[in-house]
Structure 1
Amino acid sequence: MSTLLNSAKSIVPLLDRVLVQRVKAQAKTASGLYLPEKNVEKLNQGTVLAVGPGFTDANGNKVAPQVKVGDQVLIPQYGGSSIKLKDDEEVILFRDSEILAKINDA
């Protein structure tokens, strides 16, 4: 059941889900050497592409997600549901509670 989607815009998260695109690490060292793709480590930072509307808890209170589209977030190394796109891009679907932190520009 692996379906390749055209773009991340075709994905609409439900409930408290958050769609994140992982930030790519530099493939070039400070001295100017290019690293092979398999040696470039994955960063634990991403950009929020889409956010679900939230959910209703057991008491009937609406719980909205803590992040919004465009936020820079810290994500766990493992977890989430990985989705492959046609242009060899990868996005990850997390629950709002799985996101570790929001990164503020200082």
Structure 2
Amino acid sequence: MSINIKPLADRVIVEPAAAEEKTAGGIIIPDTAKEKPQRGIVKAVGNGKPDEPMTVKVGDTVLYGKYAGTEISVEGGDYLIMREADIFAIV
């Protein structure tokens, strides 16, 4: 699903992955103990800066910092908007 918002310059909109519900051993994690996800899917990309073209594209799965970006709600969905520099890797 695409969203009708276009980030400016080197900003990217990411849909965070769902937080893990269980541990590898099968223990259910309560809501209060869930870690913030550090992985997500790129939903929109800005045009980049004149001297720095964007390296991520829509549909990429990326890893980002635990507290990267600003949470926004658009068209009923929760997303993060962040600078491309806050993204560590494309998975």
Q: TM-score range with shorter-chain normalisation?
A: 0.7 to 0.9
- Whether 1:23 and 2:12 are equivalent positions in the alignment is no
Gap runs ≥5 in structure 1: 1-6, 58-62
Q: Structure 2: how far apart are the matches of 1:67 and 1:40?
A: 27
Name the count of aligned residue pairs.
Answer: 91
Q: TM-score, normalised by structure 1?
A: 0.71
Distance in 1 of aligned mates of 2:86 and 2:26: 36
Between the aligned partners of 2:22 and 2:2, the Cα distance in structure 1 is 27
Q: Which amino acid counterpart does residue 9 of structure 1 have in structure 2?
A: I
Q: Which runs of 5+ in 2 are unaligned?
A: none
Q: Write the mapping of 1:9-88 to structure 2, written as runs, cut at 5 A.
A: 9-29=3-23, 34-57=28-51, 63-85=52-74, 87=76
Write 1 or 2 for the structure with the bigger share of strand. 2
Q: 2:87 aligns with which of 71, 91, 99?
A: 99
8 Å contact 2:71–2:80 — kept in the other structure? yes
Aligned to 1:60: none
1:45-73 Cα deviation digits (max 9, x unpaired): 1110110111113xxxxx22110001010
**After alignment, is 38-47 or 72-81 more displaced?**
38-47
Cα deviation for residue 29 of structure 1 reads: 4.4
Provide the C-alpha distance between the structure 2 equivalents of 1:38 and 1:53, rounded to a whole number of angstroms: 38
TM-score with structure 2 length normalisation? 0.80
Question: What is the RMSD computed on CA atoms of the aligned residues?
Answer: 2.2
Task: Give 1 or 2 for the bigger CA radius of gyration.
Answer: 1
Q: Identity percentage over the alignment? A: 38
